[in-house]
Chain A
Amino acid sequence: MKSGIEFVSDDLRKLQADDFANPGMLWVARGEKIWGEAAGNGGKSCAACHGVAAKSMQGVAARYPRVDPGAARLVNLEGRINLCRDRKQQAQPLGPESDELLALTAYVAHQSRGVPVSVTLDMQNRKDFERGRELYNRRIGQMNLACTHCHDRSWGKKLAAETVSQGHGNAFPAYRLEWQSVGSLQRRIRACFYGLRAEMPPYGAQELLDLELYLAWRAGGLPVETPGVRR
């Protein structure tokens, strides 16, 4: 099993490895700032409940997506952050792909850097997982290909100028040169749907969460790299 970092150029590998050069670290730094800022009618910051992120958040991102007991549904890290905003901060949810949400997600996930991805399958997430696996293997779009055709059966080969990866999400949120920005795993998955000329699920859609869960299970053991750097 290979992380996407093994399929990028030396330049990008060096960029990711150097915290002073890695552009994703700008989002992490911004997230650190937001972590300490009070928000919403609750007037609480993340730090007010969770304290020092380096301690309280270590390893957390590696276990997402997971079923939130209160909401009784599968949530990814972005969704979990927005649940906190709703419940504790009494603040409006941060919009999908907003700079604030990406920054906070990148900051929280960064606290798990090096921790192996490890989601647990149980009765609560089994259906989500099965749907995710089904979608991963279903041909979609006018190009009529499934995730598996590229990411299990063609990784290491060239798709035009790009080397096909194994499709692991362990570096996300990640900085992509193509975006000139940090983006979420859902944004990356939607880009594949677009390339296949398939209807893109909206951000936060159940099927994207299902797919994220399946991908996390499939990436089990790979270290979290957030913020990754990719093409």
Chain B
Amino acid sequence: MFAAVAGCATSAPDAVLPYRVDGDAIRERLAAAPGDAARGKAVVVSRDSNCLLCHAVPDSGVRFMGNVGPSLEGVGAQLTEGQLRLRIVDSMRLNRETKMPSYYRVDELNRVAEAWRGQPVLTAQQVEDTVAYLLTLR
């Protein structure tokens, strides 16, 4: 087991708050409010998150979903809340070669376009909402 604190942004200090990694999970919530599964579904389905470019989810109402990444059907039974959180926040911590983008990270990125620079893909609350939604996929 290891523990680490990460998430110091240089350009936008508040964009990503520190969090603690325990093993393969982030056990504590990133945001004060608990995640909301309905809002999380909206995040996953939204084009801005890019989730469905690579993943499929059941009953999304979306016609075209990718399979570059695994289907998310049943993921809520396979992974714990903390494991899901770390996989969304920064999957590279588990696998340096992963194709899964780090959704809550602003440092050590290359040539990010100005419109996105210093911002994570998802806010802390959006990460929590997404985790809550994925936990319903059992």
Q: A157-B68, A158-B68 are in contact. Are A198 and B112 (CB under 8 A)?
A: yes
Point out the residues of chain B lying under 8 angstroms from A141, CB to CB. Answer: 109-113, 116
Q: How far is the CB of B74 from chain A (nearest CB, A)?
A: 19
A151 CB to closest chain B CB (Å) equals 11
With A144-B101, A145-B99, A149-B99 given, is the CB distance from A159 to B66 under 8 Å?
Answer: yes
Minimum CB distance partner of A201 in chain B: B111
The answer on a CB contact under 8 Å between A197 and B112 is: yes
**Cα distance, A145 to B103, chains bound together (Å):** 12
Further 16 A-B residue pairs, CB within 8 A, beyond A142-B119, A158-B68, A199-B112: A140-B111, A141-B109, A141-B110, A141-B111, A141-B112, A142-B116, A144-B102, A150-B68, A150-B99, A158-B66, A159-B68, A160-B64, A161-B64, A164-B68, A198-B110, A200-B113
Give Cα A147–Cα B92 distance, bound, in whole angstroms.
17
Whether B53 lies near A197 (C-beta < 8 A) is no
In the complex, are the beta carbons of A157 and B111 less than 8 A apart? Answer: no
Q: Which residues of A contact B109 (CB under 8 A)?
A: 139-142, 144
Choose one: B99, B113, B114; the contact of A154 (CB below 8 Å).
B99
> What are the nearest 7 A-B pairs in CB distance?
A161-B64, A142-B116, A199-B111, A158-B66, A143-B101, A197-B116, A160-B64
Contacts of B105 on A, CB cut-off 8 Å?
144
B67 touches A160 (CB 8 A): no
**Would you call A199 and B102 a contact (CB within 8 A)?**
no
What are the residues of chain A within 8 A of B102 when measuring CB–CB?
144
* CB nearest neighbor in B for A194: B113
Would you give the 0/1 interface string for B54-78, flagging 1 where the beta carbon is closer than 8 Å to chain A?
A: 1000000001111110000000000
Q: B interface, by DSSP: helix, strand, loop or mixed?
A: loop
Q: Are A198 and B50 in contact (CB under 8 A)?
A: no
Does A153 sit within 8 A of B, measured CB to CB?
yes
Nearest-neighbour CB distance to chain A for B6, whole angstroms, equals 15
CA distance A158 to B68 in the complex (A): 6
Give the chain A neighbours of B65 by CB distance below 8 A.
158, 160
Decide yes or no whether A138 CB sits under 8 A from chain B: yes
What string of 1s and 0s marks CB contacts (under 8 Å) between A142-186 and chain B?
A: 111100011001100111110010000000000000000000000
**Distance A199 CA – B112 CA, assembled complex (angstroms):** 6
Within the complex, the shortest CB–CB distance from B104 to chain A, in Å, comes to 11
What residues of chain B lie closer than 8 Å to A197, measured between beta carbons?
A: 112-113, 115-116
Interface residues of B (CB under 8 A from A): 50, 52-54, 63-68, 92, 99, 101-102, 105, 109-116, 119, 121
With A160-B64, A161-B64, A197-B116 already in contact, the answer to whether A143 and B50 are too (CB < 8 A) is yes
In this complex, the member of A144, A153, A160, A161 whose beta carbon has the largest number of chain B beta carbons within 10 angstroms is A144
Contact call B111/A153, Cβ cutoff below 8 A: no
Q: Which residues of chain B come closer than 8 Å to A143, judged between CB atoms?
A: 50, 101, 121
Q: Which residues of B contact A158 (CB under 8 A)?
A: 64-68
Q: Please, how many angstroms separate the alpha-carbon atoms of A142 and B121 in the complex?
A: 7
Interface residues of A in 111-156 (CB under 8 A from B): 138-145, 149-150, 153-154
Instruction: Say yes or no: B113 contacts A142, CB within 8 Å.
Output: yes
Q: Given that A145-B99, A149-B99, A154-B99 are known contacts, is A138 also in contact with B68, CB under 8 Å in the complex?
A: no
User: Which residues of chain A have C-beta atoms less than 8 A from B114's C-beta?
Assistant: 199
Contacts of B111 in A (CB 8 A): 140-141, 198-199
